[in-house]
Amino acid sequence: MKDCDIKNLTAEEKIKLVMGKNWWESHDLGGKVPSFRVSDGPVGLRCLENCDEWTNDSLRPSVAYPSYQMLAQSWDKSLAYEYGAAVADDCMDMGVDIILGPGCNIKRTPRCGRNFEYFSEDPYLAGVFAKSFIEGAQESGIGVALKHYCCNNLETVRRWRSSDLDERTLREIYLKPFEIACEAKPWTVMSSYNLVNGVRMAENGALFTLLREEFGFNGMIMSDWEVVQDTEVSLEAGLDWEMPYCEAHEREREQLLKEGKIDLNALDECAGRVLALAQKVSEHKKTRKARRTVEERIALAQKVEEEAIVLLKNNGVLPLQSGKICVTGAPVRSYYYGGGSSAVVPNRPYVSLDEALKRSGVDAVYVDTITNFCMFEHLPKALQACKECDVTVFCVGTGNNVETEAKDRADISLIPEELEALRYLRKYSKKLIVVVYAGSAVDLKEVDALADGVLLAGFGGQCVSQAVANVLTGKVNPSGRLSETYANCLEDIPAEHAPKDEYHVKYAEGLNVGYRYFSSRGIGVLYPFGYGLSYTQFTYRDLKVMTEGAQVRVSVKVKNAGAVKGKEVIQLYAQELSPKVERPLRELRAFEKIELNAGEEKEVVFMLNKSELSYYSVEKKAWVFEAGNYIFEIGRNARDIALSQEMKLN
């Protein structure tokens, strides 16, 4: 098929081109132009046999990877690249050209129903992981749809609520991850359902212009599904592709054309970008080839989960030693995942945790604790097993009925039945380990108080049991770190006190999101951002900060002072000492994950541009770097600063 120039298409054909042919494909205009197919992909490929529907009835099995929440907890950018490349391989197998992901919205509050699809509360961490994922997928010849642009931080009433916030907060917190991700040149960006400052994102010409002119995005902007309300305004705003096909909207545009009211220049530009993408996809189809076998992709899914599991508490109970282990709780034999467009059907049978432990050589006994999440029919048997065993492993969590698209959680509590079972198990267990399967922060105060060990498995994909078993037994030394703060209670989170109604959400907390707020105010948390334990210990020394031209060079020596090999995440935070405007106490500016043998020491070097220390000036409509004194901190997490050094920068 030869390339078709947009000038050779009629206005009626262009109208067809600026919306989908069905639920998942672009229009080919009867074979006149190439078409492309898109598919959901927050935790793997959610691909349907039938392009005329959305429902899960015809889902094709695929590799179910750990959620983006877990990917970010690996703090390993190379894994994000590999993850993107592996999903691209899945796309090739199923004839999909563009994956609808990654999502890099900020976790403003843990109640957001889709937080498991997002990376972090921190814009830098979220942006870096999105960028690496995009590079991995697109270098394989599969496009991505960076989403959900922007300020999609709540799900309830998402089609009508306006996220209302000041310009500086918008730029520094909510747009920054998209700005970073756009460095990877995503083929498409998906607009979100919500409004921003009263303007529906599908019609937000100002933010679309910012995306193109300042962030350097040169691809196609698409809508989220069934979000377009005004076909004329969205077209003029620069929304290139409406999804899915809507007959009523096609007729509306055809009527506008007849009446001479449609903006023909806007139509040409939007249709031209859709056509350019279709032609790009057509060219890549000729050369793209899967880089990994399906089994290699499954192995990667397990590796990501192993790197992402966070050891939250360990009173010497882990790794497991010899002895008999009682394994109980609903997630042991049930696959926990997030709902909505993330409902991937795993392509391999789910392995239960007790089976995975047995395969690792552990004498594991499974006993039901809770039936259907609400009845304790098997609790006496479980308590008796706990008394007879050396260690109890109790699995708790949320799942797709709690964390899902289109609704938010009412609170962040575990279900009362699990907490009640926890109290009984504590009473009868010699040692108690709790494994948490949840896609976002949950209230773990009582879990932390009662358990000897706590492990966060999150939504770990189809290999979660194998990964958890390897961490519990010490075959894998845990190295995951939290990508969001676990507050002492929901009420401590400032966003929870911001004014809102059915039409507006006021981001009254401004920049005070996540650790920026808790660190600056000195408010205690249960587990801080960047937190995670290991089966070994690491020490830091010789922090050095110096300028090299326009850059700042920060170096530190890190040593594994323990007895086993392990991985450490070195986190670099910075703060301006006497800012002219209010700034957080510290902000993450760089990080690196390294592996060290017992007794081994390495030097880690970070290079920062001074522009990376800037803030957004609303008055100047620009990013501003202020000369002055800065403190550079090496942290084990956002609250545990190992070393710091002050440096004057001009």
The tokens describing 172, both together, are: 């520094």
Q: What is the pLDDT of residues 482-492, one digit of tens each?
A: 999 999 999 99
Cα end-to-end distance, the chain, whole Å: 57
Torsion of CA 456, 458, 463, 466, to 10 degrees: 10
The tokens describing 485, both together, are: 């703060």
Looking at residues 151-167, what average pLDDT do you find? 97
Closest CA to 473 of 324, 357, 630: 357
Q: How far is CA 527 from the centre of its chain?
A: 19
How far apart CA 580 and CA 625 sit, in angstroms, is 11
Q: What is the pLDDT of residues 397-442, one digit of tens each?
A: 999 999 999 999 999 999 998 999 999 999 999 999 999 999 999 9
The tokens describing 328, both together, are: 């109980």
Q: Are 68 and 49 in contact (CB under 8 A)?
A: no
Q: What is the pLDDT of residues 247-287, one digit of tens each?
A: 999 999 999 999 999 999 999 999 999 999 999 999 999 99
How far apart CA 198 and CA 309 sit, in angstroms, is 40
How far apart CA 355 and CA 333 sit, in angstroms, is 9
How far apart CA 344 and CA 87 sit, in angstroms, is 12
How far apart CA 168 and CA 187 sit, in angstroms, is 27
Handedness of CA 283, 286, 292, 297 (dihedral sign): positive
Helices (H) and strands (E) in the chain, counts: 17, 28
Q: How many CB atoms lie within 10 A of CB 442?
A: 22
Q: What is the pLDDT of residues 558-586, one digit of tens each?
A: 999 999 999 999 999 999 999 999 999 99
Q: Are 485 and 441 in contact (CB under 8 A)?
A: yes
Say what the pTM is. Answer: 0.97
Q: What are phi and psi of 397, to 5 degrees?
A: 170, -170
pLDDT of residue 111: 98
How far apart CA 87 and CA 427 sit, in angstroms, is 45
Residue-range domains of the chain with CATH: 6-285 (3.20.20.300), 300-497 (3.40.50.1700), 536-649 (2.60.40.10)
Tell me the HSE value of 556 on the side-chain side, using a 13 A CA sphere: 28
How far CA 128 is from CA of 71, 78, 124, 137, in Å, comes to 12, 11, 6, 15
**Measured CA angle at 171 (ends 178, 480), to 5 deg:** 55
Strand partners, 544: 555
pLDDT of residue 370: 63
The tokens describing 438, both together, are: 């949840």
Supply the DSSP symbol for 634.
Answer: E
Which uninterrupted H or E stretch holds 573? strand 566-576
How far CA 278 is from CA of 45, 48, 140, 240, 262, in Å, comes to 20, 21, 16, 13, 24
Is 427 in a helix, a strand, or coil?
helix
pLDDT of residue 552: 98
Q: Are 520 and 505 in contact (CB under 8 A)?
A: no
Q: Is 97 a catalytic residue?
A: no
Q: What is the pLDDT of residues 444-474, one digit of tens each?
A: 999 999 999 999 999 999 999 999 999 999 9
Q: How far is CA 157 from the centre of its chain?
A: 21
Q: Are strands 59-60 and 47-48 parallel, antiparallel or unpaired?
A: antiparallel
Q: Is the pLDDT of residue 374 over 80?
A: no
pLDDT of residue 425: 95
The tokens describing 620, both together, are: 């100047």
* Residue environment code for 75-92, b if the CB has 16+ CB neighbours within 10 A, otherwise e: bbbebbbbbbbbbbbbbb
Looking at residues 621-635, what average pLDDT do you find? 98
Residue showing tokens 């922090």 = 543
Q: What is the pLDDT of residues 101-144, one digit of tens each?
A: 999 999 999 999 999 999 999 999 999 999 999 999 999 999 99
Residue showing tokens 């326009």 = 550
Q: Is the pLDDT of residue 1 over 60?
A: no
Q: Are 147 and 99 in contact (CB under 8 A)?
A: no
Which stretches within 6-122 are classed as H helix?
11-17, 68-73, 77-94
How far CA 636 is from CA of 564, 570, 573, 612, in Å, comes to 19, 7, 10, 21
Catalytic site residue from 90, 122, 224, 452: 224
Q: Is the pLDDT of residue 228 over 60?
A: yes
More confident: 371 or 143: 143
Q: Is the pLDDT of residue 373 over 50?
A: no
pLDDT of residue 2: 60
